[in-house]
Chains A and B, each alone.
Chain A
């Protein structure tokens, strides 16, 4: 029986091995290779850390990703809570609305934002009509536009993971809390929030990590200010065939991701058991 189970994991493991692990190691090998093609070198890594602008770009990318994650969290939590605890049939409709953007191509979504945010675009006209803003907003091709585009792309993941955690939360626990005399706020902070933490932490990871690697939204919505570390990697691969250096940057980014995941995990462990 035990052997049988092991056999059944083989196809899946094989796919993982050949499609994820092997290419990763090929890229790792590239990152330690010199462009002139002679043996092992650390020059790709040292190049990254000796040029200040690569670090500036990395820092900018991290700050962007943090902003996106925090704002997504603030938007998602109330929505997920209401979906899980207060909406009955309606929550399916909200879920469909959340998922629909995934059916559209990423570029289509980005271009919709472009049209929506541009000078004289839908958003500006709406704001002018409402009298909230007078004249041109100049929102497109700024960092704000990039953040908006990224939040739209990633916050549904956050809503779904938090929703699933809250859905599992037994309502009788909430009733027990209120029977024991806890106010609604106390119940929320002492029961609901801690118990939904695993969902929140998964959500943070699922938004923060892919955000670090994006390059389409920043480039199209950010204009001259939209360069992030993902763009640099893209340029290395497509523009100058600098696979060695591109791979090195990708691995530096991966290392940062692993470190931040470990940190977030540690945070999460406090809420377990």
Chain B
């Protein structure tokens, strides 16, 4: 109840603030020659695109000013897009779970890929990312991707697990940390059962499999930090884990390795999009182009960011690091990317997962 109150308050406040900001900027833009054009970007905090060095370089190159606002969830971004006035946002960062809704509601501009010089250097997989399209028209440009698969302790498990069923294997009973997330749970069980993870055919079988799996866990984890503590304390030997977190733990000299098993794992993609009514479309294109450039993507990924969509950037990364972070092309091709889900599907899956946890 409290959170609801806060959210309503925050929403009202952000609307008031964004209107105030917008009112002053559009007035001043025309009035003063010296005033720089402002590019309004909505993104995640500390997510590469708000890096101070990058912002300075971009502002210098295009004689503009980047104004960052942050989102705390994908749903919040969708609400922002629905409630903001034209021109409030120039660029935003939706992932595939909300993209189709935003496109269908006409909240996004169509993307003209000929304006992006770096578009061609993207992996083929991402040039055709299906959530970005409607009626063969593109509305968003993939930016980075990552995976949720298996991380394991290399001191205990000598050979990399070949299948997601390792997470369901009695041999590791009591040494597994599974994730407390309805989406990851349903998708991983579907992979093990040979169903389509994005459109599972037999939810009862998935539920039974997850209930069976429950007994094998040390615990369910929710935040990356929880997993990391369990792992460092040798309480677990393997678990369902994010590629990025596993890479960060490896950099901390943990005996951890990350693998996207042969039968596949879960993937996600973040995309840049231009909301309808953006007043600075050229600048927005320049921004997106910069974001998918080899230099930017290489620098960020090798500093521990998510995996690049730019093939040249991906190839420039140390292959050993890329493989251990699940960033290599072989891993990429094995992923089932998370798709948009209707509220009804989300509800059904979440209820299934609650039932498993209540068991």
Residues in A with CB closer than 8 Å to B229 are 114
- Of the listed stretches B1-9, B115-123, B266-274, B304-312, chain A binds B1-9
- Of the listed stretches B59-67, B249-257, B318-326, B347-355, chain A binds B347-355
**In whole angstroms, what is the CA distance A37 to B347 when docked?**
15
54-81 of chain A: CB within 8 A of chain B: 54, 56-57, 60
A250-B1 contact in complex given A118-B235, A223-B218, A224-B214, C-beta closer than 8 Å: yes
**In whole angstroms, what is the CA distance A258 to B354 when docked?**
26
Chain B residue at minimum C-beta to C-beta distance from A36:
B343
A24-B350 contact in complex given A56-B358, A224-B220, C-beta closer than 8 Å: no
Partner of B4, one of A19, A119, A219, A243: A243
Partner of A242, one of B8, B217, B350, B359: B350
A223-B217 contact in complex given A232-B354, A240-B347, C-beta closer than 8 Å: yes
**In whole angstroms, what is the CA distance A245 to B348 when docked?**
13
Check B219 against A223 for contact (C-beta < 8 Å): yes
Check B233 against A118 for contact (C-beta < 8 Å): yes
Quote the shortest CB–CB distance from B310 to chain A (angstroms).
Answer: 32
Check A53 against B354 for contact (C-beta < 8 Å): yes
How many of chain B's residues have a CB under 8 angstroms from any CB in A? 30
> Is B75 an interface residue when CB atoms closer than 8 A count as contact?
yes
0 or 1 for each of A234-246: is its CB under 8 Å from B? (1 = yes): 0111111111010
Quote the shortest CB–CB distance from B269 to chain A (angstroms).
Answer: 20
Residues in A with CB closer than 8 Å to B5 are 19, 23
**In whole angstroms, what is the CA distance A120 to B226 when docked?**
17
> Is B222 an interface residue when CB atoms closer than 8 A count as contact?
yes
Quote the shortest CB–CB distance from B214 to chain A (angstroms).
Answer: 5
Interface SS majority for chain B? helix
163-192 of chain B: CB within 8 A of chain A: 178, 180-182
Quote the shortest CB–CB distance from A33 to chain B (angstroms).
Answer: 13
A35-B3 contact in complex given A223-B217, A227-B354, C-beta closer than 8 Å: no
Check B217 against A240 for contact (C-beta < 8 Å): no
**In whole angstroms, what is the CA distance A247 to B5 when docked?**
12
| Chain A positions near chain B (C-beta within 8 angstroms) | 19, 23-24, 26-27, 30, 35, 51, 53-54, 56-57, 60, 114, 118-120, 141, 219-220, 223-224, 227, 231-232, 235-243, 245, 247, 250
Q: Lowest 3 A-B CB distances belong to which pairs?
A: A223-B219, A227-B357, A53-B358
Since A53-B354, A223-B219 are in contact, a sample of 18 more A-B pairs with Cβ atoms closer than 8 Å, ordered by chain A residue number, is A23-B1, A23-B5, A30-B4, A53-B359, A54-B358, A56-B358, A118-B235, A120-B233, A219-B222, A224-B214, A224-B220, A227-B354, A239-B181, A240-B182, A240-B346, A242-B346, A242-B347, A247-B1
